[in-house]
Amino acid sequence: MDNLATFLVSPEYSCQVELGYCNRDWYTLDTPQSYADRVLISKPEYLKNDDFLDFMYAEIKADPAPRPTISLI
């Protein structure tokens, strides 16, 4: 938490992200949104609609063979 707090009040973060004044060609701050965009661009096609869990559960429900149930008590 200390590192995160230090980062959020750092001059680089404040100037570039919060105020939008500092545009340095040699320095690019990786914002949470730019990181998410960079990671999600390589998302496989079958995951793009974010309905893969619904699809997986529909396949399980449609399977005629019952699955074993494990009970932890």
| Gap between the terminal Cα atoms of the chain | 37
> Please, are residues 27 and 12 in contact by the beta-carbon 8 Å criterion?
yes
Query: What integer pLDDT is reported at residue 30 of this predicted model?
Result: 76
Question: Which residues, 6+ apart, have CB-to-CB distance to 58 below 8 Å?
Answer: none
Segment 10-68, tens digit of pLDDT:
766 666 666 656 666 655 667 888 888 888 888 887 777 778 888 888 988 898 888 88
